[in-house]
Chains A and B, each alone.
Chain A
Amino acid sequence: MKIKKIYPFLPDVAAVMLSLYAMLRSTYLSSGCFSVFAAGIVIACFMLITVFKLCGIGRSLWGTAAAAVISVGNMTALPMLYYTDGYTQGEISDTAYGTLICLMLMFGSMVISQILMYFLNKLSVGKPKTVPITAAICTLLTAAVIFVFSDRASGTTLVFGMQAAIPAAAVLLLCAAAAVSADKLLRVICSAALAALAGTLVVRNETGIPAVMIAALLIWYLFFSKRRNAVLTVFSVVIPAFGAVGILLLKFFGSRLSGIAIVDKVMTRLFSGNVEQAASAERSLRQSGVFGINSYLYLSEGTSDFCMVTLIHYLGIAFLMLIILSAVPFICISAFELMRERGTLANTLASMSLCLLTVILVYNLLMCVGFAPIIGVQAPFVGISKLFSILSGCLLGWSCFSESDANKLREKCKEIRGEFL
């Protein structure tokens, strides 16, 4: 029983020890980086203890532990991340804040999600159509805003200076959850809105989020959906199968079709595009060894998509092992719990969030080790994008905390308020 209580903390303790080992041998460590690391450790400890005290051992604790492992690694590798080309002096603080925001938001997002659920429930009392209609309108509005205002001059699709795909991912998730809980006609409307937003993102050259979103929804349908639809079931198998066959055909016969713009674009993206990025990531991993390498040599490209490679470069394959040891129990335990719970809007959102988080993490890792084509998928809890940190935190919060956890928190808040008053 004691081991069961200790086990969720073990990957975190090992990650901190690994980080300290890397820092001790590092000649690049600065006081600034160490301060961020120390602050991160304090926050991670606070989060772990609070969640443990409030919610006990469950998916919330496992989720917090997994996030803490990645965040600790991110804060340790800041000197390395700083020296990769993608970062500047100003961005180092962004990275640090992003990581800390992420950790705190994990908890905060539970509150956000509960407030959201509260309003959604209020809206849907006696009016079951309100939530799906609102979700569909919001989704279409988002699509319209992205279509009209998006700008890709910087290489990323931006709307008013923000990454368009990230809020779109949250909206897509909410709309998908609303579609599942709606009746037949509204489900079709919500699905159409979903398709419109995903299509808009693709048209605006943002392929990463729509791709992982489709993958996440397919996984959700196959494993978490309480209802079955023959057409959807067939499609959920046929779409990936078609995709796989298409990729194989392009791989072996694509050269004969070269000259067709769309074929060339897909081929470049899948097979020859970003070869330098992939080669750089592979070189970086080659040098990492079990406990990492204390050298700037062979560092990977410093874009957010490849932050995980830099972390593994600095902390070694042992760190990757720790991520897996903390992520696998979190994902599996959460899935096990969510598959058994009722199909409420909150649970649907939680299971979809879990699927999306899993797909993002797994795809990014596969991309980093060269087993998946490079599309714009960042790893959660790392990188310089504050928006992505917020999304990561929200996804974790939505998937981690159950309604009973929220109730416990509400009770605790009442207790604290009572003591003060």
Chain B
Amino acid sequence: MRYARRKSVFFTIMIICCFMLVMLGAISSIVRAEVPGAASPLEYLLKLDGAVSEGNDYGDILSIDGVPIASGYTAESGEYKYCAVSGWSDIVGSPSGGLIYNCRNILLANGSRANLLLHKGNSITTTLHSTGMRTAQEELAEYGRDVNAYICVVLRDGAVLVSQGNNSYPQEAFFDPYNYDDLYVDYCSSRSLKGSTFKPLTLRMLLLNNEALGDEYSLYNQEFKDFNQATVRGHTIINWDSCISGNYLTDEGGGIMSRTLSLSDALQLSANTYVLRHADKFGLENTYRKMTELYSLNKVIHTEINELSVGKVSSERLAYFPWGQDADLSAVEMCQLYNYMTGGTYSMPFYVAGVTKPDGKVIYTAEPVKVREKELDIELRTDILDNALADTFCSYLTKDQLHRFAKLVNSRRVLAKSGTADLAGESVNRVMMLTVLNEDRTKVICSACMCIDHTYDYDIQNSYMIEKLVAVLNSMGIL
């Protein structure tokens, strides 16, 4: 009997301890709710650490100029769905991914079933520009489903103004989504090889370390002896014009030709060997390491709606990295890095400009995140690389464009670089980067990127892509 009593006391103590543990867990959860996290205000909202959303129906998703970019509809099954207004599908995404999914905690109190009660949730004002998006959609309309064509514009402070793909289908597509496997794919945040547009990024890093290159390899050397091919670590890399003898001055014999190039010439001619040999002089591992440090290539950028990352390069392929063949990154990140490389300010990309409650109260306003430690001291007007890129822009233009864009050409406000990355199966990625400076060339305004991935059309002219990017930038009043 005494033994039973002792056991029952132990049992009671055990049970009470267990339930006290439960209470402790519940109370600690509530107490912790009083302390906001150290995250940014939007992260704070996204993680639902603050009571922000009061409604049960989705709030509005607006462009930065106040145009609705998504709407709800009831599908044939009776299920309530939410889709993009025509032309915005790729960025808005679906409940399984994209803007709605990632911002659903802000937009809506809870799951889709709650939409049965029409209590509106918070509204999100995105950084996307309605006119820019629409113009980009029009410019991309000619590209069929056989290629991935997209245009992206990112402001100096990181705001993504345009993120448009040729997969912006009409609203009817949402009624039959299985016929459109890329309906919700945001090409602009997807990684792809960016080719020679990566060269200026390598050159900026090398410029910062120019002293280590010596006199001959100095990027300020106006007469660097460039060859039509270079063999580095067993990999022979050729220039795109390696067989065009007219582009070279001297025949060195054995199929080797040479010429003298300045940095500007190298960019205009997109000389692979020029960049590769400079990188090799600096050390390929060193180049990769320094670039990783400078551009944070090993870090994943977490925006509100996606994650941006750069593909890793194996040590065997390091010879293909400096001139861009193996540079695998998204258009948004390219724009961000161009803003940084040309202007010296490293800002994190973002898509949400503000969050408003149903009563109109603004509960979040974006504050661009600049990484002060990464700031580069670049004098845009005299910088050798920026000037070389301005020359490159001029070199891409046709006579007609030189005439039409005379003001831009003379002001040297636009910097450009094109690229072509070879893919398996003989298709290529064609890329064009533009960076726009302000009128007195003291600051970068934005960078724009146009890509046509997996195309077999080798005749897409740089001037043609520039025309499209200029149209988009013009539509937003940037140029």
Q: Which residues of A contact B (CB under 8 A)?
A: 28, 82-85, 87, 223, 282-283, 285-289, 295-299, 302, 312, 317, 320-321, 324, 327-328, 331-332, 335-336, 339-340, 358, 362, 365-366, 369-371
Q: Is the CB of A362 within 8 A of B19?
A: yes
Q: B24 contacts which chain A residues (CB < 8 A)?
A: 369
Q: Is the CB of B56 within 8 A of A296?
A: yes
Whether, in the assembled complex, B471 has its beta carbon less than 8 Å from a beta carbon of chain A, the answer is no
Cα A85 to Cα B108 with chains together (Å): 14
Q: Which residues of B contact A (CB under 8 A)?
A: 1, 4, 7-8, 10-12, 15-16, 18-19, 21-27, 29-30, 32-33, 48-49, 51, 53-54, 56, 109-111, 113-114, 117
Smallest Cβ distance from B415 to chain A, in angstroms?
44
- Beta-carbon nearest neighbor of B33 in chain A: A286
Q: Is the CB of A317 within 8 A of B30?
A: yes
Q: Is the CB of A299 within 8 A of B110?
A: yes
* Contacts A28-B117, A321-B23; A332 near B11 (Cβ below 8 A): yes
Q: Is the CB of A312 within 8 A of B26?
A: yes
Q: Is the CB of B21 within 8 A of A371?
A: yes
Name the 6 nearest CB pairs between A and B, nearest first.
A369-B25, A286-B33, A296-B110, A285-B29, A297-B109, A365-B22
Q: B110 contacts which chain A residues (CB < 8 A)?
A: 83-84, 296-299
- Beta-carbon nearest neighbor of B12 in chain A: A332
Q: B12 contacts which chain A residues (CB < 8 A)?
A: 332, 335-336
Q: Is the CB of A286 within 8 A of B30?
A: yes
Q: Is the CB of A369 within 8 A of B29?
A: yes
Q: A299 contacts which chain B residues (CB < 8 A)?
A: 110-111
Q: Is the CB of B23 within 8 A of A340?
A: no
Cα A387 to Cα B218 with chains together (Å): 78
Q: Is the CB of B114 within 8 A of A317?
A: no
Q: A297 contacts which chain B residues (CB < 8 A)?
A: 48, 51, 53-54, 109-110
Cα A335 to Cα B16 with chains together (Å): 13
- Listed by A's residue number, 27 A-B pairs whose Cβ atoms lie within 8 Å are A28-B117, A83-B110, A286-B30, A286-B32, A286-B49, A287-B33, A287-B51, A288-B30, A295-B54, A296-B109, A296-B110, A297-B109, A298-B110, A299-B110, A299-B111, A302-B111, A317-B30, A320-B26, A328-B15, A328-B19, A332-B11, A332-B12, A332-B15, A362-B19, A362-B22, A369-B24, A369-B29
Q: A87 contacts which chain B residues (CB < 8 A)?
A: 113
Q: Is the CB of B10 within 8 A of A223?
A: yes
- Beta-carbon nearest neighbor of A330 in chain B: B15
Q: Is the CB of A339 within 8 A of B56?
A: no
Q: Is the CB of A366 within 8 A of B18?
A: yes
Cα A366 to Cα B26 with chains together (Å): 9
Main SS at interface, chain A? helix
Q: Is the CB of A320 within 8 A of B23?
A: yes
- Beta-carbon nearest neighbor of A298 in chain B: B48
Cα A298 to Cα B48 with chains together (Å): 7
Cα A296 to Cα B33 with chains together (Å): 17
Q: A332 contacts which chain B residues (CB < 8 A)?
A: 8, 11-12, 15
Q: Is the CB of A331 within 8 A of B25?
A: no
Cα A370 to Cα B29 with chains together (Å): 9
Q: Is the CB of A369 within 8 A of B10?
A: no
Cα A362 to Cα B16 with chains together (Å): 10
* Contacts A286-B32, A296-B56, A297-B109; A340 near B4 (Cβ below 8 A): yes
Q: B33 contacts which chain A residues (CB < 8 A)?
A: 286-287
- Beta-carbon nearest neighbor of B47 in chain A: A283
Smallest Cβ distance from B6 to chain A, in angstroms?
10
* Contacts A321-B23, A335-B8; A286 near B109 (Cβ below 8 A): no
* Contacts A287-B51, A298-B48, A324-B19; A317 near B8 (Cβ below 8 A): no
- Beta-carbon nearest neighbor of A331 in chain B: B15
Q: B26 contacts which chain A residues (CB < 8 A)?
A: 285, 288, 312, 317, 320, 369
Cα A358 to Cα B15 with chains together (Å): 8
The CB with the most chain A CB atoms within 10 A, among B1, B23, B111, is that of B111
Q: Is the CB of A369 within 8 A of B22?
A: yes
Cα A317 to Cα B54 with chains together (Å): 22
* Contacts A297-B109, A328-B19, A366-B18; A335 near B32 (Cβ below 8 A): no
Q: Is the CB of A366 within 8 A of B8?
A: no
Q: Is the CB of B22 within 8 A of A324?
A: yes
10 additional contacts (CB under 8 A) given A85-B113, A223-B7, A335-B11: A83-B110, A285-B29, A288-B30, A295-B51, A296-B109, A297-B53, A320-B23, A336-B8, A362-B18, A365-B19
Q: B30 contacts which chain A residues (CB < 8 A)?
A: 285-286, 288-289, 317
Cα A302 to Cα B111 with chains together (Å): 10
Cα A188 to Cα B109 with chains together (Å): 56
Smallest Cβ distance from B1 to chain A, in angstroms?
7
Cα A302 to Cα B1 with chains together (Å): 46
Q: A85 contacts which chain B residues (CB < 8 A)?
A: 111, 113
Cα A87 to Cα B30 with chains together (Å): 26
Smallest Cβ distance from A93 to chain B, in angstroms?
16
Smallest Cβ distance from A90 to chain B, in angstroms?
13
Cα A81 to Cα B7 with chains together (Å): 40
Q: Is the CB of B22 within 8 A of A317?
A: no
The CB with the most chain B CB atoms within 10 A, among A83, A84, A288, is that of A83
Q: Is the CB of A83 within 8 A of B113?
A: yes
Smallest Cβ distance from A289 to chain B, in angstroms?
6
